[in-house]
Amino acid sequence: MRIRYGYRIELVCAREMPLVTLLDVHPSRRHDLTMPDDMRVSALANPLLPIAVAQHLDAFGNICRRMVAPPGGIRLESEGVVHDSGEPDCIHPAAREVAPSRLPDEALVYLLGSRYCETDKLFDQAWALFGQVAPGWPRVQAIVDFVHNHLTFGYHFARNTRTAAEAFEERIGVCRDFAHLAIALCRCMNIPARYCNGYLGDIGVPPDPAPMDFNAWFEVFLGGRWYTFDARHNEPRIGRIVIARGRDATDTAMICSFGMHTLQRFEVITEEVSDTPMPLAPSLPAQFDARPAAA
């Protein structure tokens, strides 16, 4: 299947403002792109003003772009098409845990506590809740089931400072909170877990009437490979397009700005499209829905 995706974001600022973005599709999915998705950058006050953009990979292999927004603000937009297998998230109940002593070096960092995933505060609760559950896939699924039922989802619950331990106590959150709590509980059980964000459309499920947004989920290392889990939806989904991976939302912030600004526009789209090739539109369509950047 083919999935069309894209965004349009506008930031208003009074002075020059450096930015770092993580909005490009992750390198692991670049080979699936069937149409280019290069970011278009323009000044809000003067669309003809050239804006230099540099690109690099961060420590987690995500694509970063650096630029300076001019006084008045900046518009970021992109649109692309990716080929997807159409298969839902893989389920492998026999996948086993890997002992910390046998983990690959690159997985070790995903056992440690991080800014939003305080393993020290949740260690006792994790072992009390899941210590008697069969290790491996059953234990991870038990954690996902717990988080899915323990937290109540709502965009009005969004708070960008909420940590996993706070979500555990408050019992509310958005998709990043579901991911953070599940990640922290997995790490407490010596299971490497990493945070992911990206696109997830309503493919193969009833349409969600809420406007589209980016989504957060997580991956765990079992049986020598990474598997996808989603504590918010708690069901295999079709059409995930990864943008960034990291320890938690700190490493995967889609925009890091170094100055005061106002978010004037935030629009996201991801939808299945016909297999008949179609040329890209010169810009994102006007009918894009806007959802608060709360996931």
Per-residue DSSP letters for 185-239? HHHHTT--EEEEEEE----SSPPPSSPP--EEEEEEEETTEEEEE-TTT-S--S-
Domains defined along the chain, listed by start: 2-85+253-273 (2.60.40.2250), 100-246 (3.10.620.30)
Q: What is the pLDDT of residue 276?
A: 55
Per-residue DSSP letters for the chain? -EEEEEEEEEEE-SS-EEEEE--SPPGGGGGGEEE--PPEEEESS-TTS----EEEE-TTS-EEEEEEEPTT-EEEEEEEEEE---PPPP--TT-----GGGS-GGGGGGGS-BTTB-HHHHHHHHHHHHTTSPTTHHHHHHHHHHHHHHSEE-GGG--TT--HHHHHHH-EE-HHHHHHHHHHHHHHTT--EEEEEEE----SSPPPSSPP--EEEEEEEETTEEEEE-TTT-S--S--EEEEEESSTTTT-SEEESS--EEEEEEEEEEEE-SS--PPPSS--TT-----S--
Contact between 221 and 136 under an 8 Å Cβ cutoff? The reply is no
Reported as a single tens digit per residue, the pLDDT across 149-196 is 999 999 999 999 999 999 999 999 999 999 999 999 999 999 999 999
Angle at 275 (CA atoms; ends 278, 269), nearest 5 degrees? 70
Give which of 246, 239, 223, 233 is closest to 273, Cα–Cα. 239
Q: What is the pLDDT of residue 141?
A: 98
Pick left, alpha or beta for residue 86 (phi over 0 → left; psi -120 to 50 → alpha; otherwise beta).
left
Largest CA distance in the chain: 63
Q: What is the pLDDT of residue 284?
A: 38
Q: What is the pLDDT of residue 208?
A: 87
Query: Who contacts 16 (Cβ-Cβ below 8 Å, separation ≥6)?
Result: 68, 69, 70, 71, 259
Radius of gyration, alpha carbons of the chain = 19
Q: What is the pLDDT of residue 210?
A: 85
Question: Which portions of the chain are predicted below pLDDT 50?
Answer: 277-295
Pick left, alpha or beta for residue 205 (phi over 0 → left; psi -120 to 50 → alpha; otherwise beta).
beta
